[in-house]
Amino acid sequence: MERADVTGVLLAGGRGQRMGGVDKGWVDLDGRPLVAQALQRLSSQVDRVVISANRHLDRYRRLGHAVVTDSLPGHPGPLAGALGALREVSTPWILLAPVDMPWLPVDTLARLAGAIGGADIAVAHDGRRLQPLVALIRSSLGADLSDWLAAGGGRVVTWYDRHDWIEVGFPGQDAQFTNLNTPHEVALAACAQAGHASPPDSCHE
């Protein structure tokens, strides 16, 4: 699999409820918005990135990437954002990544692609837990995803279970898969980032 076969899809369309309802992509971390940090990690691995967002669309477009929105009403979850991107991409694969994961491993695509074999979906496992929104997905699954969401589906892994999918281990890298879901978690991350180039291992409450 070549990087030109994969479109990166940055999921930035969530409601940010645990962040006080703000658009998490524009939350500041050490002087830069989360979207800029996530894009840096994702765009280094693919030739093209699509941002899936539901607010501040013009602001996201100014980052220089295509922007899509949920194709279904009511924000039925991150896979609705993935579906919006699948309707726009022409590559045989997409690589999902969430906007609130600023330390996404730079070898994510290489590791997932190297392990996928004949499967349809490869999902990162950080050594402690599955990371369902860090996934390499065959683009031809878009029609099935559309039907499943239209029928009321929502849970990410439940949709994966409809297909041939595998877990790919990233042992010892759980900190790089840190999601920043709350203002407190952002504060801890800023503490770590101020003195380190890597995730918030060394900051404590």
pLDDT per position in the chain (205 positions), as tens? Answer: 899 999 999 999 765 555 556 788 898 888 889 999 999 999 999 999 999 998 899 999 999 999 998 767 666 689 999 999 999 999 999 999 999 999 999 999 999 999 999 999 999 999 999 999 999 999 999 999 999 999 999 899 999 999 999 999 998 888 889 888 776 677 776 676 665 545 555 565 5
Residue 12 is labelled as binding a ligand: yes
pLDDT of residue 29: 85
> Dihedral sign, CA of 190, 191, 195, 200?
negative
pLDDT of residue 31: 85
Query: What span, in angstroms and rounded, lies between the C-alpha atoms of 13 and 179?
Result: 15
pLDDT of residue 15: 56
pLDDT of residue 168: 98
Query: What span, in angstroms and rounded, lies between the C-alpha atoms of 52 and 112?
Result: 21
Output the CA angle 92-77-64, nearest 5 degrees. 55
> Per the confidence metrics, is the pTM higher than 0.85?
yes
Domain architecture of the chain: domains with CATH: 3-195 (3.90.550.10)
pLDDT of residue 21: 63
> Dihedral sign, CA of 36, 41, 43, 44?
positive
Residue 24 is labelled as binding a ligand: yes
